[in-house]
Amino acid sequence: MQKRIVVTGVGVVSSIGIGKDDFWQALTAGKSGISPIESFDTADFPTHNGGEIKNFSAQEFILPEEAEKMGRVSCLALAASTLAINDASFKLDNFNRERIGVVFGTTMGESQILEQLNAAWIKKGESAIDAALICRYPCNVIAANTAVKFKLAGPNLTIPTACAAGNYSIGYACDLIKKGAADVMLAGGADAFSRMAFIGFNRLLAVAPEKCQPFDKNRRGMMVGEGAGVLVLESLEGALKRQSQIYAEVLGYGLSCDARHMTAPYGEGIARAIAKAIKESNINPEEVDYISAHGTGTPANDKEECLAIKKVFPGRYKKIMVSSIKSMLGHTMGAASGIEAIACCLSLKNDLVPPTINFQTPDPECDIDCVPNLSRKVKVNLALNNASAFGGNNACLVLRKFILS
């Protein structure tokens, strides 16, 4: 379990860009991916904006006949996986594919498939349901479809720990490599824009009317989004052997459950995950330069996350840069911490921290350095990636600038 794990490829599909270059350019420029929703009619809802991906075509990454047999989440996951494999200059034929695995996180799974099944049942009855659609619905198909496409016969799993699932997947993938169960893992998260999620968060009165403003005193809620983020993970030994680029090193992760409330975040639980991640990674809290926040923009989440940061870093929390890229992408559910892990990798690689946009009014309860509105060129050696979820699931990932030592 002492193997060093590194990130050698990244693939992202998001509302601000497809592919790492477009994504990173837009992210550091503070570009918003929030726009009026087009995938369904929102006339009966109090809010009308979201982080939809407007220019995604699955056929750019997979054959039309393949795309027709999958839900949108699987298509997003496959696209991000393709981008990550290409970015890692990975020649799959040079590897034993039984030693390459896939693990994805998700919140809603193929919820659009469920919506289609429901619509058919209501309109014409049970006999009108297409049996083929049923096979496309279970959330395990997200990782399975990726494995089938690339003939990856190693460990295969979909982790449905809601909006913390991306970090769970990356952490678990690292463990599989460390224990010798795989040589290479594709890990991250994927979720498509969901009518179900949009309805649910609107009923919870958690959606902002126009924009997401994490850590702002007048923040009014989150934005539902969609996307996929995939990292290629492998041992340092393997990466050096094939002379691969290295974005960052994954030092460790920490998990916790609030065990308190199904939907309300809890600072104590978040703090436990951060503290566990720091301990497992064998680092000093003084070393942390940047935290990619869960930062949904809801009053409760941002307050509790700030309380957690203050608890773990009581003497220096104001000196740590803490930004939320959900201010630009919206909340991509199970994809969120996968995409945010990629943002951390690129921050470490480029010494550039993305901003929290839409910040206007400081909140005394969130008196952190949220990197307001403009990205910051600064040395970044160590980053934390925070994620929280319904059910009280918390996960914190620790990434460090790669140093061969």
Residue position matching structure tokens 């179900």: 196
CA distance 116 to 124: 12
Q: Is the pLDDT of residue 172 over 70?
A: yes
- Side chain identity at 361, as an amino acid letter? T
The least confident of 103-117, 175-189, 271-285, 344-358 is 103-117
For CA atoms 333, 334, 339, 341, the dihedral sign is: positive
pLDDT, one tens digit per residue, over 331-353 is 999 999 999 999 999 999 999 99
- Mean pLDDT computed over 67-73: 86
- Mean pLDDT computed over 94-103: 96
- Mean pLDDT computed over 170-177: 98
pLDDT, one tens digit per residue, over 347-398 is 999 999 999 999 999 999 999 999 999 999 999 999 999 999 999 999 999 9
Half-sphere exposure of 220 (CA within 13 A, CB side): 10
**So what's the pLDDT on residue 113?**
67
**So what's the pLDDT on residue 132?**
67
pLDDT, one tens digit per residue, over 223-243 is 999 999 999 999 999 999 999
**So what's the pLDDT on residue 371?**
98
Catalytic residues, which ones? 163, 294, 331
**So what's the pLDDT on residue 272?**
98
The share of the chain scoring above pLDDT 90, in percent, equals 85
CA distance 192 to 23: 17
CATH code matching the domain that covers 5-241, chosen among 3.40.50.720, 3.40.920.10, 3.40.47.10, 2.40.50.100: 3.40.47.10
pLDDT, one tens digit per residue, over 289-314 is 999 999 999 999 999 999 999 999 99
**So what's the pLDDT on residue 194?**
86
C-beta of residue 35 within 8 angstroms of C-beta of residue 54: yes
Q: Is the pLDDT of residue 285 over 70?
A: yes
- Mean pLDDT computed over 119-140: 68
**So what's the pLDDT on residue 109?**
75
**So what's the pLDDT on residue 195?**
87
* Angle at which helices 195-203 and 111-124 cross, to 10°: 90
**So what's the pLDDT on residue 182?**
97
Pairing relationship of beta strands 227-235 and 184-191 according to DSSP bridges: antiparallel
Higher model confidence: residue 90 or residue 109?
90
- Mean pLDDT computed over 279-284: 97
CA distance 219 to 213: 5
Confidence of residue 131 (pLDDT cuts 50, 70, 90): low
**So what's the pLDDT on residue 270?**
98
C-beta of residue 338 within 8 angstroms of C-beta of residue 226: no
The model's pTM is 0.95
Q: Is the pLDDT of residue 136 over 70?
A: no
For the chain, give every residue range classified as CATH 3.40.47.10: 5-241, 253-400
Q: Is the pLDDT of residue 137 over 60?
A: no
**So what's the pLDDT on residue 356?**
98
CATH class of 253-400: alpha beta
**So what's the pLDDT on residue 43?**
95
Q: Is the pLDDT of residue 1 over 80?
A: no
